[in-house]
Amino acid sequence: MATLTQEMKEMIATQQCFIGTVNADGSPNVAPKRSTRVLSDDSLIFTEGTAGATYSNIKRDSRVSVSVVNREILDGYRFVGTAELQEEGPLHEQAAAMAEKLGMPRPRAVAVIHISEIHSLKPGPMAGKKII
């Protein structure tokens, strides 16, 4: 597993993350997931409320990619790994409590992303290169 740096954690906490999955026909699907946050030093989590394409894709193929960029400082990262959907249990209940507090519907699931690689999205010679 790859380990997140403090800089990466701060970027995830303050910028919009986009989750990439694979559709059944092999085409890419990319969706913004506002609820993406750091779960641990080597995993992310997001709340799956709509149970749409991202949810269906993860159920069928757990491979995911998460991109986050900060346009103001021209920096960003792509996190590659596998996602695990949890439709019950402690993490799901925490997400449900958070949703209720915000006046949102109960989530269908939470997706835990186990990060295996980290790539730079900083412009220049490191763009797209695996850094961890």
Chain-wide mean pLDDT for the chain?
95
CATH 2.30.110.10 fits 6-120, yes or no: yes
Q: Cα dihedral angle (30, 35, 38, 40), rounded to 10 degrees?
A: -100
Instruction: Name the band, by pLDDT with cuts 50, 70 and 90, for residue 99.
Output: confident
The tokens of 105 are what?
């519907």
- Token couple for 71: 């346009």
- What are the pLDDT digits (tens) for 27-82? 999 999 999 999 999 999 999 988 899 999 999 999 999 999 999 999 999 999 99
Question: What are the domain boundaries of the chain?
Answer: 6-120
Distance CA 105, CA 118 (A): 32
